[in-house]
Amino acid sequence: MSEMVERVVLRERPMIERVARIVWATRARRIREQDLISGYLGTKGRGDWTFDELEPALQEALREEARAAIAAMREPTEAMIGAGSAKIFGTEWHNEPKSDVEYIELVWPAMIDEALK
């Protein structure tokens, strides 16, 4: 799948669902690592389950965690604001007419990248 197609597919999935799935993928990786360390050699360990194979209650619990994580990012930090400003004013971008969508696509990743540091 091309990078452009992957981006479109990701955009079609609600953010809560995207975050919940990546939280599970991260946990599953850790579970697989622990299973290897402890010598678990089952045919399909719990860390091998996909999000869609999880019990609906666990899927919903992961979505609740995703909502909480996203809500925590509602108010940007000073560093995030600085990164967004630097992205706009540190380039020639501010001299060119851009749509609101292009503005958001430019600033949002810079702010999130700063939050992830």
Domain assignment of residue 51, given as a range: 1-74
pLDDT digits (tens, 9 = 90+) for 3-61: 554 555 566 788 899 999 999 999 998 888 887 777 665 556 677 888 999 999 999 99
Instruction: List C-alpha distances in Å: 30 to 36, 64, 99.
Output: 10, 20, 42
pLDDT band at 1 (very low <50, low <70, confident <90, very high): very low
In terms of domains, do 79 and 55 share one? no
Q: Determine the Cα–Cα distance for residues 26 and 105; give it in Å rounded to an integer.
A: 26
In terms of domains, do 60 and 108 share one? no
Please state the domain count of the chain.
2
In terms of domains, do 53 and 81 share one? no
Above 80 in pLDDT, residue 69?
Answer: yes
The pLDDT, as a whole number, for residue 25 is 92
Higher-pLDDT residue of 61, 92: 61
